[in-house]
Amino acid sequence: MIIAEAAVAAIILIGAFFLLVGSLGLAKLPDLMRRLHAPTKATTLGIGSMLIASMLYFAIIEGKPSIHELLITLFLFLTAPVTAQMVAKAYILRTRQLHEVLPGTGRPVGWATLDAAQADACSETVQHTTID
């Protein structure tokens, strides 16, 4: 029992360490795209460790196996990349000096975020001219 508790405590500490590093990275890294790396990755292992510790605790010490944690992991893995991509897209759209330095798509069309914005801008101009 002592060994199980020690193992659970150790896993919680590992998780806490990675969560701390994730938050530290968010505060320390210099620009948005670099900052995005810390919370999307360091926190997955942090939360993952917490959930493994929770499953071990309830299965071994309380004697009531719990499987909720698997769902939390699943939802986290589904939502973290989507959030990161939405933040990145907003950043690309809002940062004008970035538009010149982005690598090309290697295709005849541009990046989806910017192409859509240009299309919107065009349609707005068209509307303005018709109103005028």
Partner 1 sequence: MTRLFPHPILSVVIAIVWILLVNEITAGQIVIGIFLGWAIPKLTSPYWPDRPRIRRPGAVIAYMGIVLWDIVVSNIQVAYWVLFRRGNSLRSRFVTVPLDLTTAEAITALAGTITMTPGTVSADLSADGRSLLVHCLETDDPDATVAQIKDRYERRLKEIFE
- Contact residues: partner 1, CB under 8 A: 17-18, 21, 24-25, 28-31, 33-34, 36-38, 40-42, 44-46, 48, 66-68, 70-71, 74, 77-78, 80-82, 84-85, 88-89, 92, 101-113, 115-116
- Least Cβ distance, residue 7 to partner 1 (angstroms): 17
Alpha carbons within 13 A on the beta-carbon side of 47: 18
- Least Cβ distance, residue 132 to partner 1 (angstroms): 29
* b/e per residue 37-63 (b: at least 16 CB within 10 A): ebbbbbbbbbbbbbbbbbbbbbeeeee
Report the C-alpha gap between 49 and 43 in whole angstroms.
10
- Least Cβ distance, residue 90 to partner 1 (angstroms): 10
Question: Which CB, 78 or 131, lies closer to partner 1?
Answer: 78
Sequence letter at residue 56: L
